[in-house]
Amino acid sequence: METLTDEQTAGQLDELIAVGGQSVRQGLAQGSGGTVRVLGQDVTRLSATYRSGPTPSSEWKLHSAIYARRPDARAVIHLHPQYSLLLTALGHRIRFITQDHAYYVGSYGQTKYYTNGSDELAETAAAEVADGRHNVVVLGHHGIAALGETVESAFRRALNFEEAAIMTYRALLLGDRDSVFPPEELAKLHHH
């Protein structure tokens, strides 16, 4: 397996920092609320055992469980988007209304509430995305996890998911409970 150069590692760090800042500016997280992780090319085995170094965030188990179940995922972004959480907490399904929602997100999984950092949260969320059908999972009353081949693709999914939630919210305010991207057009989209 190829090892990352110092320049590639620095580039990944810059990308993580940029996405973290964008997440706060876009209202997908507040302050330090959320985590962005990427697997480097030199990772050969993912261990769920903390050994040394800086203390990991409380959601390290979530990231580890998802990576273990989805080897195609190279980046996982965990955020706390307001509209996504509000709608799902109230029992509303988030609808994909635009082509971008359908294309970049496609579908999502959902868990009930589990305490942050818990084994139950990590395993249940990972099970929701394990079969590759979903690249976003709502963590009930807590946040979301978006997966991607890159940090950029995971972030794009998170942005489109929250935009879908905002549009669903506005549609509900206008009395619309049914509008979605035309189902007959879904097969024509080339999903990422």
Whether 75 is covered by a domain: the verdict is yes
**Residue 3, domain member (yes or no):** no
Vertex 90 angle, CA 95 and 163, to 5°: 35
Report the predicted TM-score, pTM, of the whole model to 2 decimal places.
Answer: 0.80
The total domain count for the chain is 1
pLDDT at 44: 32
Residue 2 covered by a domain: no
Amino acid at 189: L
Residue 27 lies in a domain: no
Contacts for 1-9: CB closer than 8 Å, 24+ residues apart? 1/41, 1/42, 1/43, 1/44, 2/41, 2/42, 3/41, 3/42, 4/40, 4/41, 4/42, 8/41, 9/40
15 occurs within a structural domain: no
Say if 77 falls within a structural domain: yes
In the chain (192 residues long), the average pLDDT of successive 10-residue segments reads 54 62 63 54 44 64 94 92 96 97 96 97 98 97 95 93 98 97 89 51
pLDDT at residue number 43: 38
CATH of the domain at 141: 3.40.225.10
Q: What is the residue range of 146's domain? A: 56-176
Confidence (pLDDT) at 189: 85
Predicted local confidence at residue 36, as pLDDT: 55
